[in-house]
Amino acid sequence: MELALPLAYVVQHFYEGYAINLPLENLIRENKFLVFELFGESLLPNHNEQMRLIVFHLYS
């Protein structure tokens, strides 16, 4: 991956105005997933999200 600008953080925006910023270094690593189901069920409507970013080394 090549980046033209010296980026340090990425902002992820969610419904209802919620946002989180992550260091770009965390998104370049291999162990991350975009998840749209949990235990075979859609994240909607119970979790109010269409997709969730999971970055394992931050939460495990």
- pLDDT tens-place string over residues 13-38: 877 778 888 898 888 888 888 888 88
41 occurs within a structural domain: yes
59 occurs within a structural domain: yes
Cα angle 1, 30, 40; round to 5: 125
7 occurs within a structural domain: no
8 occurs within a structural domain: no
Tokens 């235990």 correspond to 39
* CA dist., res. 16 & res. 13, Å (int): 9
pTM: 0.57
How many C-beta neighbours within 10 Å does residue 26 have? 15
pLDDT category, 45, cuts 50, 70, 90?
Answer: low
Number of domains comprising the chain: 1
35: containing domain:
30-60
| pLDDT mean across residues, the chain | 79
2 occurs within a structural domain: no
